[in-house]
Amino acid sequence: MSAITWTKSAEDGPARTGTLKTPHGEVRTPAFMPVGTRAAVKAVDPTDLVALGAELILANTYHLMLRPGESLIEEMGGLHGFMAWERPILTDSGGFQIFSLDPEIDEQGATFRSVYDGETLRLTPEESVAVQESLGADIIMVLDVCVGLPAPREVVESGMWRTLRWAERCLAAHSRDDQALFGIVQGGVDADLRKASAEETAALGFPGFGIGGLSVGESAGERNLALEAAVSGLPDDRPRYVMGLGDTEGLLEAITRGADLFDCVIPTRLARHGRVLTRQGDFNLKISAYETDEGPLDPECGCHTCVTHSRAYLRHLVRTGELSAHRLLTIHNLAYTMDLVAEAARAITESRLAELMDEVRRRRRVSPSQADAL
């Protein structure tokens, strides 16, 4: 029996809502995961995340195996005990981070250098699973081969088949029955490769699936076609996780195509640079127009930041480099992103997702002057 179950509760075309049950609680899907790369979501703590309604967070295998090391985390009660986070956790395998380090990849695994001290390291599919089992997340991911786009078809296809072979090795190495191991669909933006990857990965019997290798240089149109092809080859009764996707339009486009889970650093990274996500369009809080603005970041947002502070005060914090600015803007940007996904879920249950997408597009159109300010 799988460590997780996913049950569909409503659908609107390919889009669907459901409940993901894990050893550490339930997650209502579609759901956005705040990214806690090093066992911490930047600028906020678990109390903030609970207040925001986060039901699932992500941590990064590559970084945690280097610092502080999976053995120490295991001794501290796994990620849940180490972070004081009692809700579900997903760990990625480190594949994307390794890809970004220009590794040497062969059939057995990947060789790369540590971003911390330059030491040469080696990671195989089996070792990635072993590290994630020590970390103790509810959901873990196979080690995959991520290819930057655009790339020649033969390169994309080679990475896709190697990912499938590594997936079989990860399954053989996986030993914890209280963790769910997800497979990962690759194939770039080639619809035929995506569908073939999805079908072959599904045939291995994973309890859930990541759709990887996107947000790496492709256009929105290419991404959408790749998602449609991947979803067409995956079973309807298991969760689909689009890895690394978190912009407003991208989230809605993926949800309408049948995706369930998402993660991305966009909300937290933009917050640390004074960028604000809102229902009326995104803006840069550093510009002078907000110097005496007494209004909230978003008058339709009920997060702690919007209820408590003015744009003028928050701009002051950003301009003077106060660390509290990072926390307050992060709270808002995460609240915006998770509220957007929750709103999409409600729209699915009411069969009005298309109307929501039209409304979001209309309201978030920005003028040329606003775009310059971003």
Query: What is the spatial distance between Cα 255 and Cα 112, in angstroms, rounded to a whole number?
Result: 35
Distances (CA, A) of 12 to 93, 257, 360: 32, 10, 17
Same domain? For 165 and 18 the reply is yes
Question: Is residue 102 classed exposed, middle or buried when 0-12, 13-18 and 19+ CB atoms within 10 A define those classes?
Answer: exposed
222-274 residue pLDDT tens: 999 999 999 999 999 999 999 999 999 999 999 999 999 999 999 999 999 99
What six digits make up the tokens of 88? 């579900």
pLDDT of residue 370: 41
Same domain? For 68 and 184 the reply is yes
- Provide the number of structural domains found in the chain: 2
Same domain? For 197 and 216 the reply is yes
**Token pair 């937290």: residue:** 268
Q: Which regions in the chain score pLDDT beneath 70? A: 1, 366-374
The domain of 245 spans 5-264
What six digits make up the tokens of 198? 């999805």
Query: What is the spatial distance between Cα 157 and Cα 161, in angstroms, rounded to a whole number?
Result: 6
Same domain? For 299 and 330 the reply is yes
Query: What is the spatial distance between Cα 220 and Cα 187, in angstroms, rounded to a whole number?
Result: 16
What six digits make up the tokens of 197? 């990857």
Final residue belonging to a domain, choices 208, 241, 264? 264
List residues with catalytic annotation: 92, 263
Q: Which residues contact 303 (CB under 8 A, 6 or more apart)?
A: 52, 331, 332, 335, 336
Same domain? For 195 and 343 the reply is no
Final residue belonging to a domain, choices 224, 247, 264? 264
Terminal Cα-to-Cα distance of the chain (whole angstroms): 49
pLDDT of residue 372: 35
Same domain? For 245 and 275 the reply is no
Same domain? For 280 and 173 the reply is no
Same domain? For 124 and 162 the reply is yes
Final residue belonging to a domain, choices 264, 280, 313? 264
Same domain? For 219 and 144 the reply is yes
Same domain? For 152 and 229 the reply is yes
Same domain? For 252 and 315 the reply is no
Same domain? For 130 and 197 the reply is yes
Query: What is the spatial distance between Cα 188 and Cα 150, in angstroms, rounded to a whole number?
Result: 8
CATH number of the domain within which 167 lies: 3.20.20.105
pLDDT of residue 1: 64
pLDDT of residue 265: 97
